């Protein structure tokens, strides 16, 4: 199994299991937002995968971005959602099929107003290192 796909599946599961987060965004934790989706919501952004193998073990470094979208007045809602996402994923011990998650860390976050979409936009960039099971 592809480690990036397994990681994304585990991330969706972890975020969807966070009751405080789903109280704010419901089931709107999406790979891609459809037209006319209700706010607030979270989308999965760019994923970059790099070989992290050693001479004896295969592994991958993954950088991925989650986007938070809110039309609430001010940044408070977007920042609250971002904090819940960070709390759920940073240093999380997620189970991946066929892979071990070595670590998962928040590397960068930013909240800003997006004039084009007339919404507050939060970005969270994470770094994960995975290794193959039994390799």
For residue 83, give its domain range.
3-132
pLDDT at position 46 is 95
Q: What is the pLDDT of residues 6-23, one digit of tens each?
A: 999 999 999 999 999 999
Rounded Cα–Cα distance for residues 44 and 29 (Å): 8
Looking up residue 86, the CATH number of its domain turns out to be: 3.30.2000.30
Q: What is the pLDDT of residues 114-134, one digit of tens each?
A: 999 899 999 999 999 999 886
Rounded Cα–Cα distance for residues 14 and 7 (Å): 10
Rounded Cα–Cα distance for residues 16 and 41 (Å): 12
Distances in Å between the alpha carbon of 73 and those of 33, 50, 117? 21, 39, 14
Q: What's the pLDDT band for 135 if we cut at 50, 70, 90?
A: low
- Report the domain count for the chain: 1
């Amino acid at each position: 199994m592809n480690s990036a796909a397994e990681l994304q599946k585990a991330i969706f599961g972890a975020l969807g299991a966070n009751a405080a987060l789903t109280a704010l965004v419901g089931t709107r934790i999406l790979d891609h937002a459809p037209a006319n989706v209700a706010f607030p919501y979270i989308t999965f952004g760019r994923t970059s995968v790099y070989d992290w193998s050693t001479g004896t073990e295969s592994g991958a470094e993954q950088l991925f971005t989650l986007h938070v979208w809110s039309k609430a007045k001010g940044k408070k809602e977007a920042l609250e959602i971002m904090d819940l996402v960070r709390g759920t994923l940073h240093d999380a011990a997620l189970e991946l099929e066929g892979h071990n998650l070595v670590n998962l860390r928040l590397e960068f976050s930013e909240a800003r107003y997006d004039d084009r979409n007339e919404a507050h936009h939060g970005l969270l960039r994470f770094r994960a290192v995975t290794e193959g099971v039994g390799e």
